Chain A
Amino acid sequence: MTEELFRDFWWLIFPVFGMVMAIFGMIQNGAREDAILRDARERLERGQ
């Protein structure tokens, strides 16, 4: 049953990989933008 399911849907690995990469990219991009905003806020609080 499991083997049959895998034989029928092995190709789903590729779109699922794409989805995982998209999520990963979004998280990384978000973290970068959050860091820029946090840094700007900290500079403002320090009075620079």
Chain B
Amino acid sequence: MNFEELFRDFWWLMFPIFGMAMAFTGMSQSERRAKTMIDLLKTYTDQGKEPPPELLRMAAQSLDDGVNAPATRQQSNAWSFVVFAALSAGFTVGWWFIRDEGYAFAFLIVAVTMGVLAVGALLILLLGGKK
């Protein structure tokens, strides 16, 4: 099997591998930065000094990631729905055009996954937004 055949059979693997690599890198980097940030804030507090505003802004931003305002959260859910629905539609169209090819299943799997995520985002938007 030469490179071209290998690429033709497994090109779709680049997406999950990229996703995994990005998730792993992002997670490890953000963990390291959060630890450093907390250490710095603690040192400033222990010494009775005012932490730099950029550092406080960064800390507030990382806290906001978990506790968004309701309006922002709803917008975020709505945007998730739009993105997943668009991806699902795109991959469905892609699958339709290449449905006779051997690798068409990859498009269908992604389209169905994105469709389920879109429905989930829509349900959260409709049912989970009133608190």
Question: A residues near B, CB below 8 A?
Answer: 1, 5, 8-9, 12, 15, 19, 22-23, 26, 30, 33-34, 36-37, 39-41, 43-44, 48
Stretch from B35-43, B73-81, B118-126 forming part of the interface with A = B35-43
Q: Determine how close the nearest CB of chain A comes to the CB of B129; give it in whole angstroms.
A: 28
Whether A37 and B33, one on each chain, are in contact in the complex, defined by CB atoms closer than 8 angstroms, is yes
- B contact patch SS: helix
Mark B29-61 against chain A: 1 for CB-CB distance below 8 A, else 0.
Answer: 100010011001001100101011011001000
Q: How far is the CA of A40 from the CA of B54 in the complex (A)?
A: 9
Closest to B52 in A: A40
Whether A33 and B15, one on each chain, are in contact in the complex, defined by CB atoms closer than 8 angstroms, is no
Q: How far is the CA of A37 from the CA of B32 in the complex (A)?
A: 11
Whether A37 and B36, one on each chain, are in contact in the complex, defined by CB atoms closer than 8 angstroms, is yes
Q: What are 14 A-B pairs with beta-carbon distances under 8 A?
A: A1-B4, A5-B4, A5-B7, A5-B8, A12-B11, A30-B33, A34-B33, A36-B54, A39-B54, A40-B51, A43-B52, A44-B40, A44-B44, A44-B47
- A contact patch SS: helix
Q: Determine how close the nearest CB of chain B comes to the CB of A1; give it in whole angstroms.
A: 6
Q: A26-B22, A26-B25 are in contact. Are A33 and B58 (CB under 8 A)?
A: yes
